[in-house]
Structure 1
Amino acid sequence: MTEDGPDPFTNMFEAPAKFARALFAPMSAANANAPLRPEDMQHWAEVGTKLQSMWMEYQAEQMANPQALAPYFDPSRWMRMAEDWYRQMPIADPAQQQALMQEGMALWQQVLGQYGLGADGQPVAEGEPDLPRKDRRFADPRWRAHPAYALIHQTYLFLAERVAEMVDRMEGLSDDKREQLRFTTRAITEAASPSNFPLLNPVVMERTLETRGDNLVKGMEHLLADLRRGQLSHTDASAFTLGENIAVTPGKVVHETPLYQLIQYSPATEEAMATPLVIFPPWINRFYILDLNAKKSFVRWAVDQGVTVFMVSWKSADASMKDVIWDDYVRGQIDAIDHIRERLDVKSVHTIGYCVAGTTLAATLALLHRRGEQDKVKSATFFTAQVDFEKAGELLNFVDDNQLGMVKAMSADGYLDGRYMAATFNLLRGTDLIWNYVVNNYLLGEDYPAFDLLHWNGDVTNLPAKWHQQYLRDLYRDNKLVEADALSVDNTPIDLGIVETPTYVQAGKEDHIAPAESVWKITEHFKGPLKFVLAGSGHIAGVVNPPEAGKYQYWTNDGAPRSLAEFREGAEEHPGSWWPDWVDWLRAQDGETVPAKGKRKPGGRGDKVIEDAPGRYVATR
């Protein structure tokens, strides 16, 4: 003992001893005394044999076809990322090691101090333990019921905090390199979570004992199926069929090019707004995020408001699109606009650009203005779209020379397999979109849910390699779109500063793909009347938020804020969806209505169409 309390060196050795006893103690007295029946032994042996044979069968497949494993599923890629991270971290500093050890011992004492010994001699918590660190990955009471698991996850959270702090304190790093190191550190620490390892996860251990290992067999089936398809599954793909229970709004494909199909939706009202609307969805995803089902569909809702809606369905890239570049997508948008104007005999159209298609829509508007054809577009709406990439968020971590070189190497056939983009976006929210499913589907062996949004998220599209490199290099990395005449489209220099089209800009408050601060910057470049709306939630739920759901909220500001911070300070909050606000704004641009007949009803008498919505392109892989 010392004058200040127990001798620290004694405690330093007592804590590991207590931990060792706790770690190897049985989960309960019942487990300790339960005999292992012959049939149990046989079942466990069968489980082991199944697991071994399944893995050997998969390995034989890989040896017969070494190219089957997708490069983005290749573990060596992630090992290289970990090695680069390790070389940059100052983890060998003796002073930091000593400080970590001392803090760690203090944490162990704090945690173990809340546990005593029960009547059976096993450690139990004296009441609900008040552990210093909380994390939803460890919310299950079983992480706190036993001191071994409490120590495991509390130590992990403590070390993850300290490693993140090391990155913040490191000297000699530029802002972009520090941010990249933060991102890599988070990705690695998320992967290292004890929840991802069966022997360290009490929930998995209990499930394994209950099912006698059947969960591991089912989980292995899920894992091998994902390895074969080269993509992590989030949902039961067999639960959804295009045109039957997703992408079901009635309509016809009325125009087609090698790059896109144009869908026109059937009217639901006797009168329709005179000026039609064309939606440009991102070509990195399927368009039906805006037409998931009748209750969630933005398309159906807009049609019900009396809007004549057209939707572009981009073709998933293949080798035939190896020479497609940004100019082709801009020309494609203009072609769609011109076709609608001719088909309905109207002077102009309303437009919506979602995400990367919004970026392209901005260039389209600039090109039309430069050519004196700006009257073709009555208004432009942007869903979570960026034009200025200075503050583009975590995706900037994927646009340095090394990353661009890796992407180019994976695009040897002239297109980038969409599974790479899916893996990249999943990595932005690794805990939610990767490790949560590793635990549930691979370790616990749970069935996949039938969730339409997750199904869409995994329904990937391929990207033309040349255009993808252009996009990452010229826009994300070099931010040329906001430099007047720094980029040319169709041999015409473009300048966002001349765009005067009335504009509605929607951003997501919690968007991690197109951060609200980045979306806001469009207000600094366009010169026409502009309304900015900040919606609750993120990149998807902030957009797909039907009024009937009564979810989230949105903010408007009728003043003249000069920054997003000023917008927030003076913003008025409105409950629910921003969709009604948008359609009121759209009607204010042009209130004229016409009968919804003739070619306003696609596929009617004398109207030649190609096929029923949702068309072939949305189904191509």
Structure 2
Amino acid sequence: MNEIVINNRDMDRALHAAQAKLTGGLSHASLMLAWADWVLHLGDQPGRQVSLMRQAATDWGELARLALGLPAETIQPAPEDHRFLSPSWQHGPWAFAVQAFLRTERLWDLATTDVHGLSKENGRIVNFVARQLLDMMAPSNYPLFNPEVLTKTQETAGDNLREGIRHFIEDLQSAGSGGTHPLPMQPGKDVAITPGSVVYRNELIELIQYSPTTETVRPEPILIVPAWIMKYYILDLSPHNSMIRYLVSQGYTVFCISWRNPDAKERDLTLDDYRRLGVMAALDAVTAICGAQKIHATGYCLGGTLLTIAAAAMARDHDERLGTITLLAAQTDFTEAGELQLFINDSQLAFLEDAMWAQGYLDSSQMAGAFQLLRSNDLVWSNLIRRYYLGEEDHPNDMMSWNRDATRMPYRMHAEYLRRLFLDNDLAEGRFEAGGHKISLADIHAPLFVIGTETDHIAPWHSVYKLQLHNQNNFTFVLTSGGHNAGVVSEPGHKNRHYCMLHRSHDGLYVPPEEWQSQATCIEGSWWPAWVDWLNGQSGTPVNPPQMGAPLTGYPVLDTAPGQYIFQR
């Protein structure tokens, strides 16, 4: 009987995996339940319906005035919406089309937002789906009605459309080959070129030690834990904007984890395996090589979440090697985890787990698709118009090239991450286990330096900020301009950068996020020097640099940076 149940379960998983390929990984059951919830609640609210009809009538009246050439109220696109920036959209029938579209967009937003009785979860889903459908129908998506496309076609005698067809064929060929076409900027050649050596390797990580560039270094080394959802070299891009190179130049011995890009063979790796084989194995290596009593640990995005888990487990086990902890756009409390919560509920996770089970991992294209949908008007449709209709070539910079170098997520680990952290919020609520025993964020005693970014839609700064509610230790919070990646890669000299910073002493009073900026000190420029100043204040007198690796203690130099795992695609 058990064997029959298991076989039937496998059949269900195979079906869901096939469905996921058609729906982009979205659960149709979740979507249908959300729409049913919205329809039933809005249908039972005649007052709300009358209000929406009045707004629609007002909109039609303003559009009629606009069509007749009379003065009319105009709506401006959202700041992040770049589809209608060209002056050619401000005149004639194109101006009317833009206003009609923006008013429709606004009406649907009103209809799907704050419907009394509708669950927040379903409300977010309905609003999101409505936005996606409307984005598909934007007037800019139709080449025969897009004034920019018409003008370019006339000026080039159709060369833009011929180039667009060529781009389309190239993209089809790339998709047919698995999307592993050469990167515009190659790791080890154009990016990830800070000199160093691989001093440790296991089945999950390579550990890179970077060569010193100063005569002396601080006795406390820095260990960087990047996210496994991305290649580590977001922190070691070109020489001018490499965080790793900058830290080395400031007199620190820097180590960085390079995660393996897993495939189906690693399907059963757990989140605790990532802690044990990743963070803890790297800490052991750094301790052996440097002989340091204290280590400055830095975690980025998911790597910061994992570092926090490791730090809490170390505090529980009386392991006091962490001198400081820096978290870069990393969440620990997931109750306000931003737009990614659209994809996180029981129905969606059950569907996604079955899709991952079938192939053993979450494919990078599936993850990238989810992120693109969050900003489809900018990342999908505007890119389509530029590349296929206007015939413009891509001119990728180092960060754009890195963004194409995506990684996979092991089935079991990613399912645990999404369910235990995102859905159940076990880490913040004291239910999360590491090494078989529960941990608490309150146990962490190392000083914390936490970065949030102003326009982060992956780890919103309000969510990152919530760590203060769970830990009363010394806490320095920095809010920097930019998004999830650009806000972190914010090197000195970068134009139009600013940040605000506020320190809370041990057991200091909590400042709500809406009041925080009024009390913080705001400064123009990069936050990197402020971070180094903070690290210097937590570090000892400079000493001679340690050797590269430690052969006598089992950590010989195995390879030159950037190692081998970075090239797995």
Instruction: Give the TM-score of the pair, scaled to structure 1.
Output: 0.80
Instruction: Decide whether the 8 Å contact of 1:72 with 1:423 is kept in 2.
Output: no
**Correspondence for 1:107:** 62
**Aligned with 1:609 (options 541, 549, 557):** 557
Q: Structure 1 277/108 Cα, relative in aligned 2: closer, same or farther at 3 Å?
A: same
After superposition, residues 90-489 of structure 1 pair within 5 angstroms as 99=54, 102-114=57-69, 132-135=74-77, 136-145=82-91, 147-230=92-175, 238-331=183-276, 332-373=278-319, 375-411=320-356, 412-484=358-430, 486-489=431-434
**Correspondence for 1:59:** none
Question: By how many angstroms is 1:230 displaced?
Answer: 4.5
1:565 matched to 2:520: no
Question: By how many angstroms is 1:150 displaced?
Answer: 1.7
The whole-number CA distance in structure 2 between the counterparts of 1:337 and 1:271 is 22
Q: Structure 1 348/101 Cα, relative in aligned 2: closer, same or farther at 3 Å?
A: closer
The whole-number CA distance in structure 2 between the counterparts of 1:234 and 1:108 is 45
**Correspondence for 1:63:** none
**Correspondence for 2:9:** none
Question: By how many angstroms is 1:404 displaced?
Answer: 1.3
Q: Structure 1 222/211 Cα, relative in aligned 2: closer, same or farther at 3 Å?
A: same
**Correspondence for 2:5:** none
More displaced 10-residue stretch of structure 1: 163-172 or 472-481? 163-172
The whole-number CA distance in structure 2 between the counterparts of 1:175 and 1:273 is 49
**Correspondence for 1:52:** none
**Correspondence for 2:449:** 504
After superposition, residues 451-600 of structure 1 pair within 5 angstroms as 451-484=397-430, 486-558=431-503, 560-596=509-545, 598-599=547-548
Question: By how many angstroms is 1:450 displaced?
Answer: 2.3
Deviations 1:261-290 (A, max 9, x none): 101111110111111111000000111111
More displaced 10-residue stretch of structure 1: 503-512 or 217-226? 217-226
The whole-number CA distance in structure 1 between the counterparts of 2:146 and 2:241 is 37
The whole-number CA distance in structure 2 between the counterparts of 1:594 and 1:79 is 56
Q: Structure 1 218/75 Cα, relative in aligned 2: closer, same or farther at 3 Å?
A: farther
Structure 1 gap ranges (5+): 1-68, 116-128
The whole-number CA distance in structure 2 between the counterparts of 1:144 and 1:77 is 38
After superposition, residues 43-122 of structure 1 pair within 5 angstroms as 74=22, 88=38, 99=54, 102-114=57-69
Structure with more contact order per residue of length (Cα contacts < 8 Å, sep ≥ 6): 2
- 3-state DSSP of counterpart to 1:481: coil
Deviations 1:294-332 (A, max 9, x none): 111101110000011111010111111111011011112
**Correspondence for 2:13:** none
Deviations 1:200-252 (A, max 9, x none): 31212232344444433432333344345449x99996531111111111111
Q: Structure 1 443/72 Cα, relative in aligned 2: closer, same or farther at 3 Å?
A: farther
State the Cα RMSD in Å. Answer: 3.1
Q: Structure 1 171/230 Cα, relative in aligned 2: closer, same or farther at 3 Å?
A: farther
More displaced 10-residue stretch of structure 1: 490-499 or 387-396? 490-499
The whole-number CA distance in structure 1 between the counterparts of 2:452 and 2:59 is 42
The whole-number CA distance in structure 2 between the counterparts of 1:194 and 1:300 is 46
Question: By how many angstroms is 1:188 displaced?
Answer: 2.5
The whole-number CA distance in structure 1 between the counterparts of 2:25 and 2:237 is 34
- 3-state DSSP of counterpart to 2:265: helix
The whole-number CA distance in structure 2 between the counterparts of 1:101 and 1:378 is 60
The whole-number CA distance in structure 2 between the counterparts of 1:519 and 1:610 is 37
Instruction: Give the TM-score of the pair, scaled to structure 2.
Output: 0.87
Q: Structure 1 226/402 Cα, relative in aligned 2: closer, same or farther at 3 Å?
A: farther
Question: By how many angstroms is 1:95 displaced?
Answer: 5.3
Question: By how many angstroms is 1:413 displaced?
Answer: 2.2
The whole-number CA distance in structure 2 between the counterparts of 1:302 and 1:206 is 49
Instruction: Decide whether the 8 Å contact of 1:167 with 1:181 is kept in 2.
Output: yes
More displaced 10-residue stretch of structure 1: 189-198 or 392-401? 189-198
Instruction: Decide whether the 8 Å contact of 2:197 with 2:560 is kept in 1.
Output: yes
The structure with more radius of gyration: 1
Question: By how many angstroms is 1:72 displaced?
Answer: 7.0
- 3-state DSSP of counterpart to 2:110: helix
Q: Structure 1 200/182 Cα, relative in aligned 2: closer, same or farther at 3 Å?
A: same
Equivalent pairs, count: 535
Question: By how many angstroms is 1:152 displaced?
Answer: 1.4
Q: Structure 1 291/499 Cα, relative in aligned 2: closer, same or farther at 3 Å?
A: same
Give % identity: 34
Structure 2 gap ranges (5+): 1-16
Q: Structure 1 70/177 Cα, relative in aligned 2: closer, same or farther at 3 Å?
A: closer
Q: Structure 1 615/235 Cα, relative in aligned 2: closer, same or farther at 3 Å?
A: closer
Question: By how many angstroms is 1:578 displaced?
Answer: 1.1
Question: By how many angstroms is 1:503 displaced?
Answer: 1.2
The whole-number CA distance in structure 2 between the counterparts of 1:235 and 1:435 is 23
Instruction: Decide whether the 8 Å contact of 2:344 with 2:423 is kept in 1.
Output: yes
Counterpart code for 1:613: A
